[in-house]
Structure 1
């Protein structure tokens, strides 16, 4: 009997499974995928992340940075069942990759290690799964390097999980090294074998008392949801194995518990047992349909959920999709929620970056649809000609950092725009926008590394070299005092000349009022048809005031003027308006304004003091902090900060919080900048700088 032998009570749902592998950065998800594929026979030999020969993390960017930067898909068969594993990145900057995957996953395996510094990252992942109602189990990896107590570790982890963490296996220790484990549900002991099936042994005498205690604790936890089991425990009746397994399966599938397994992915320890747990305990497509709001029993009409979009260098666009009902075949036409249609060029199986063509895919299978143009991650597709209701909304966090992007060669502008559009399709947590005021194209993302990888792809995948830098900040200027000024535009050069004459009253307005234009012309000294041209001339000037920035919060009244019956024109009065503003504005004590943002920063509460210091050091005004609702051990810090200080804020926040802090911002108001700060801005961006 091997590491994987054992079963569960009752029948299990047949059909393909879709399993998401999630967990904090560096916990070993890609190594676990490799171990699973090796044991299932999908690959001949287990690769190593360090050696750069794994099925996952095969992109140049992932290999260059030794980290997962996109979700990797691999399908395989195990004991006659079909499984698709999707390895999701663990870094907070790339966590959004899992958003689409969660739309079609039956179960998530959370891969974690015994490092309390990673608990906040683990909590983020647990919260995401819990909010979506996705069943999950915890795999404590690197047990071969673990020093300490599993019980104490889980006590530290438990506050991060709403569901009780139920230990299914306890390690067998020998000279401080985990040499095997005891399965508390099967009541069997196993000794690890390097990259081989574990050997079944009798539970060692010295472990008997520990096993009895741990098993009883497990039974007590699951008995909270089963009155029959609770009654048996109270009467000291040893429950039958089928009852125990039945409760473990039901309570995991309904999210009432999170079972905990242990092992070492790099050595293959515990992987067989994990696979057997998936085979007998993982929910299938019927429960996933129910979670998505569909009937448990599927009809024959094809319905698919798009989990991820990939642009391969040679194969074009691939839409990774889970078949929720019916069968999808090569050549079928699918309909998007907006009613548009696309044809499926081919249906593919994926193992990392390797694909294999197949004619069709049935319910529960996860496949790649080739060249389904227009289809986006997170969309639900039908193949019956009717637009489907979208079953999942992608929960995309706001960007926290931005860079301006421009092609090194001007001829690549159209090519850059197309490449950025594809990048956003592949990764919806990226955003690119064209800023009308500055003429800049901004690429926004979830962190410094997130943008770095996106820019590397522009060069590596699309052959575009780009210049990047910080975005131009939207500084403004206004005035402090009023003035009265005349502007006369007069030009004679043969034939009709040009004549326009205006008198303007220029006054400051309260902050936020914008631009107000009025006229008090009497007697027709400026004909009515020319007054709009005066206003347009003033608007032209306000695009760049005396300091070199757009002018706001100014009132201008056209008080007087004169005209010429032959030489006056719209253009002449437009020029007169500009000239009056140019002469009058420097006398109004212009002042620089900078945008101020309301910022809400989310962080573990042991880092709150550091976050407060960072905000204060960046000219921020702290408004206070409070416990983050629904997040045990987290705070939300509120502040008003200059936008100029927010550009690279996320780098410092992440450094102070082991990589997990995030924030959201919104424009609040414009504030005056004076003294040394104003001098620095004017020297760098103002008219003098130009």
Structure 2
């Protein structure tokens, strides 16, 4: 890794983001190789890259967590955060972005990935993070016009995409590029710095036209430049670079650079653009509202649990000086003492005595501080600078330890997984006592199970979570429940008469009594209610019973043999014998589902909803999102389970949904018979 060098802007932190399989990790390898941080670039496919270093990432050949790696370039220090492109692992990106100075959005000329690109650019735009677009895989362009590609990509961005380079063609192959700001031509050399060549002929004409187009976009926010263009005056080169830097930092433009990460083409030009135009930690601290203080202040954007190294917290120091051993106060009200400051990246074991503003570091054993916390070396807890909420979960599985003796171990492992990835959530199913693990998709949950097995040594069995079926009744009856038992000494005697009636949907359970003349002594009435509740826990169809009113109207007792237990048992018997006569009916939970998707996929989404017994309520354009729709429907909970899999398949991974319980609805006929039979078979 290159020497950690100070600059007036401090060490900078740059996020590499982009759609799935756009080449972010390959670009990180190219950057590290070209800056001398590593001897040579590794390969994602061969499993030799710095990024995607976890066993799960190697196995699936995809980023499943962010990677931080450091390098130095032309006397300045950088940390690059390689963020997963899959929406299922996007929480890492969303947690890291607030701390970075700028982002490089890696994309390719693929119209199918436009919705994913739009989601990422929207996140950056909302956070006011300066961003470059690195148009990757340019060596595969096949003579497509770059302007046409730019026009195709533009709808994904709310600010102009400003082309900084144009390609130099040799037949159908791109052999180099012209830098429009620098007004120089370069020919690519694989895995080496590009060679400067003379700019002449057709390339010179194309350069003049493209440069004027770039300047026109810059002039939209620079009156002096606009006047120069109108008067046909060539603006000074330094002024053009200053405009590019200012408009980037103010979020007025998104510069577009060309290259091929695999061939390391365009990497040094990207690094030079970052060096000259990306802001430093002072601007980032101002964007986040960091208060003036002499204390160190930073933000934790990732938590990791190492098998043998304990807990590490990846953090960006936004202000001040931080020493190893310092005690930190967090915005969540907790305090922890640092046990080691480490440089992130390829040389993870590089221990440091201290850190300065701008540094991205791994802090050891901050047991009480979690991802998303702001921390300070002062004596009081700092205000939170960032609030990153996990996306609503979209897929669940019910899990349990394969070996019951691992129950405690499983619970501890899940807590650590949730610390590392807050978009994983765990809920205890009170009825089945299983743990329901919620995540962002099929691969997200699969990776979680792999981590439980490989990292924590816990094998789990999994199955689809239980659906919240219930049952109710249609017909009122009066039923006697009688419990009498004699076995020497005091016996047991309880006798109740119950009116059992249906209630309107959603009313739940209601108990009352109209006993007169002391037929059932008042001290036994609470036990009767408890017995009724016991009997409603499992109805004749096998599910909890709801929307029922039960009234205790009469009964009898024995002065010696009656007891709370006897009356509770009598009430349970009365309910259990009465419910089958009340015309029980199955109920299933219905949820309101709201799906957001690209407009061209709306018809497919409607078909998916209809096939899953969904009742479409309507759709509208998604507020503030060009080319997106929002579809609303009512859908049975049983049909939502794998909905996200179909939804992502129909939208190239970009669609998502939220859901909320709405009501319980009757299920009759063959569908009800199948549900009841399956439930009894599993019991």
Bucket of the pairwise TM-score, normalised by the shorter protein = over 0.9
2:683 paired with 1:682: no
Measured against aligned partners, the alpha-carbon deviations of 1:115-166 in whole angstroms (never above 9, x if no partner) come to 1111111011001111111111100011111121111111111111011000
Aligned-pair Cα RMSD in Å: 1.1
Which of 103, 107, 131 does residue 136 from structure 1 map onto? 131
Counterpart position of 2:176: 180
Whether contact under 8 Å (2:342, 2:348) holds in the other structure is no
The SS at the match of 2:194 is strand
Describe how 1:104-253 pairs up with structure 2 within 5 A. 104-147=99-142, 148-253=144-249
Counterpart position of 1:78: 73
**TM-score in terms of structure 2 length:** 0.98
Counterpart CA distance in 1 for 2:378 and 2:203 is: 59
Measured against aligned partners, the alpha-carbon deviations of 1:568-616 in whole angstroms (never above 9, x if no partner) come to 1111111111011011110000000000000001111111000000000
Whether contact under 8 Å (1:619, 1:641) holds in the other structure is yes
Measured against aligned partners, the alpha-carbon deviations of 1:491-542 in whole angstroms (never above 9, x if no partner) come to 1111111111110000000000000001111111111111111000000111
Counterpart CA distance in 2 for 1:437 and 1:292 is: 45
2:247 paired with 1:255: no
Counterpart CA distance in 2 for 1:468 and 1:487 is: 41
Counterpart position of 1:587: 581
Describe how 1:348-363 pairs up with structure 2 within 5 A. 348-352=342-346, 354-363=348-357
Counterpart CA distance in 2 for 1:343 and 1:354 is: 20
The SS at the match of 1:269 is coil
Counterpart CA distance in 2 for 1:501 and 1:282 is: 82
Which of 33, 57, 64 does residue 38 from structure 1 map onto? 33
Whether contact under 8 Å (1:70, 1:97) holds in the other structure is yes
Gaps of 5+ in 1: 1-11
Task: Give the drift of 1:689.
Answer: 5.6
The SS at the match of 1:96 is helix
Task: Give the drift of 1:240.
Answer: 0.7
Counterpart CA distance in 2 for 1:25 and 1:433 is: 29
**TM-score in terms of structure 1 length:** 0.97
Counterpart CA distance in 2 for 1:272 and 1:492 is: 92
Counterpart position of 1:451: 445
Task: Give the drift of 1:353.
Answer: 7.1
Describe how 1:185-584 pairs up with structure 2 within 5 A. 185-295=181-291, 299-352=293-346, 354-584=348-578
Task: Give the drift of 1:434.
Answer: 1.0
Whether contact under 8 Å (2:9, 2:281) holds in the other structure is no
Counterpart position of 2:3: none
After the TM superposition, which segments of 4 or more aligned residues of structure 1 sit over 3 Å from their partners?
none
Counterpart position of 2:653: 659
The SS at the match of 1:95 is helix
Whether contact under 8 Å (1:72, 1:352) holds in the other structure is no
Gaps of 5+ in 2: 1-6
Whether contact under 8 Å (1:603, 1:635) holds in the other structure is yes
Task: Give the drift of 1:13.
Answer: 4.7
The SS at the match of 1:502 is strand
Task: Give the drift of 1:405.
Answer: 1.1
The SS at the match of 1:30 is helix
Closer/same/farther in 2, CA of residues 587 and 352 from structure 1, 3 Å limit: farther
Which of 606, 617, 621 does residue 623 from structure 1 map onto? 617
2:35 paired with 1:24: no
